[in-house]
Amino acid sequence: MSILDKFAPLQAAYSSLKEQGFDPFGISFDSITSATEGVFQGRSILLMGTNNYLGLTFDPACIDRAVDALTRYGTGTTGSRIANGTYVQHSALEAALADFYGRDHAMVFSTGYQANLGILSTLVGKDDHLIIDADSHASIYDGVRLGNAQVLRFRHNDPNDLYKRLKRLEGVPGDRLIVVEGIYSMLGDKAPLAEIAAIKREMGAYLLVDEAHSLGVLGEGGRGLAEEVGVDADVDFIVGTFSKSLGTVGGFCVSNIPDFDVLRVACRPYMFTASLPPSSIASSLEALNQLRQRPALRQRLRDNSEHLHAGLRALGFQVGPTVSPIVSIALPDQATAIAFWNKLLAAGIYLNLSLPPATPNNLCLLRSSISAAHTPAQIDRAIDIIETVGLELGVISPSERPVLV
Ligand code: PMP
């Protein structure tokens, strides 16, 4: 008997997964050599499943700023934001984020996960309602669990369902907070934000958008889906992360709501954890500058996304209708997905294997995410290898190529 006995079914499923090849949840790279390449078990590997959308992890200026901060301010703050863990750099990054979004307030958290935990559990209380998209990220679900608000889920990307649920709450006291994501992390689809913003206005709710995957990706200025759709003014809270397009680690929330800063002394995942090291803050700040000053990165990312999406679609893979930097291939069953993923890794490409229950509609997915740093030749190589494996496993067939118009 062991305290871990309750995990026996999970242990069995995981063991069976590992018996089929590499351990999809235990990959450990020997080294990472650029934004798009690494070494795995002594072999060079093409990285097609990171969230390094702008490819800034090896940007010389970002590295310089981090090294300089490391040398001048040390390896870590050893304290929380509300004790000894706020340096001028943390405040400067908050000011830069507020300026970027044109908002009055910004709070930096130690991760995006913690930003969602903190904001969702603190903003709404037991007399309030959280209305979240059913396909929300784990950090949103966990934020819900940490707080006391009443929770309603609406069908993924279904504004009518959202409307109906809010309508049923008419007359019920308390605040309502709608939570959606700019780009959903598994399939790369976007929230129907114009419709959701209209509903929010009509029903007098607050709206929070998690732009984790859309910061630096969508919108003329790279601010995300709210900017792209032109509904910035309707979004009361934007949550985001530094761990994707900014290539570092950390999370944030920006808002125009008066007295936002009271959250600094109310929000436990902000208060009771160490703040980010100055080196991460310094490189995040530089990456934000680059995001603002180099719109060409965004264009390259769009071109690369189009390239991968069109290439896979033309071969007959099921990639979903939306072109975004997240391109997921749906496979018929778990065994095929696992075999496919293993063969790709053996051939030198790393993608994410995403399996139920972590996926929407219990899909078995090979999730790739593209970077502005990928070259067209790397994308062609990835498409070629994915084609070879797809043919080998009978996922696609040359006689069933779709006719694309
Ligand atoms: N929100 C969404 C939608 C995400 O996909 C993620 C990360 N996968 C997060 C929040 C958490 O971000 P972080 O990596 O900074 O904890």
For 125, which DSSP code? Answer: -
Q: Specify the pLDDT at position 403.
A: 56
State the chain's maximal CA–CA distance in angstroms.
65
Checking 216-219 for CB contacts under 8 A at 24+ apart, the result is 216/53, 216/54, 216/244, 216/245, 216/246, 216/291, 216/297, 216/298, 217/53, 217/183, 217/245, 217/298, 217/301, 217/324, 217/325, 218/182, 218/183, 218/190
Q: Specify the pLDDT at position 399.
A: 76
Amino acid (1-letter code) at residue 134: A
Expressed in angstroms and rounded, the spacing between residue 250 Cα and the centre of ligand 1 is 10
Query: Which structural domain range is residue 246 located in?
Result: 58-293
- Choosing from 113, 190, 237 the residue with most ligand 1 atoms within 8 A of its CB, the one to mutate for a pocket test is 113
Q: Tell me the pTM.
A: 0.97
Q: Which atom of ligand 1 is nearest to the CA of 242?
A: 15
CB 165 within 8 A of CB 159: no
Spatial neighbors of 8 by CB under 8 A, at least 6 apart, are: none
Expressed in angstroms and rounded, the spacing between residue 136 Cα and the centre of ligand 1 is 11
In a domain, 7, yes or no: no
Q: Which atom of ligand 1 is nearest to the CA of 112?
A: 15
Q: Which of 293, 328, 343 is the last residue of a domain?
A: 293
Give me the number of domains the chain comprises: 2
Catalytic residues: 185, 213, 244
- Choosing from 117, 189, 243 the residue with most ligand 1 atoms within 8 A of its CB, the one to mutate for a pocket test is 243
Q: Specify the pLDDT at position 320.
A: 83
Structure tokens at 185: 């992390």
Expressed in angstroms and rounded, the spacing between residue 53 Cα and the centre of ligand 1 is 14
Q: Is the dihedral of CA 91, 92, 94, 99 positive or negative?
A: positive
Q: Which of 258, 293, 328 is the last residue of a domain?
A: 293
In this structure, what CATH number is given to the domain that contains residue 287?
3.40.640.10
Q: Identify whether residues 242 and 282 lie together within a single domain.
A: yes
Q: Which of 235, 261, 293 is the last residue of a domain?
A: 293
In a domain, 190, yes or no: yes
Rounded average pLDDT per 10-residue block, the chain, 405 residues: 96 94 96 98 97 98 98 98 98 98 98 98 97 97 97 98 97 97 96 98 98 98 98 98 98 98 98 98 98 98 98 95 94 96 98 93 95 98 98 90 58
Ligand 1, atom 15: closest residue by C-alpha:
112
Pocket of ligand 1 (CB under 6 A): 111-113, 116, 137, 139, 181, 185, 210, 212-213, 241, 243, 251
Closest CA to 117 of 205, 171, 179: 179
Q: Identify whether residues 267 and 358 lie together within a single domain.
A: no
Q: Identify whether residues 155 and 274 lie together within a single domain.
A: yes
Q: Specify the pLDDT at position 398.
A: 82
Packed helices 193-203 and 159-168: angle between N→C axes, nearest 10 degrees: 10
Q: Identify whether residues 211 and 358 lie together within a single domain.
A: no
Q: Identify whether residues 288 and 311 lie together within a single domain.
A: no
CB 90 within 8 A of CB 108: yes
Q: Specify the pLDDT at position 404.
A: 53
For 97, phi and psi rounded to 5 degrees?
A: -70, -45
Establish whether this prediction's ipTM goes over 0.90.
yes
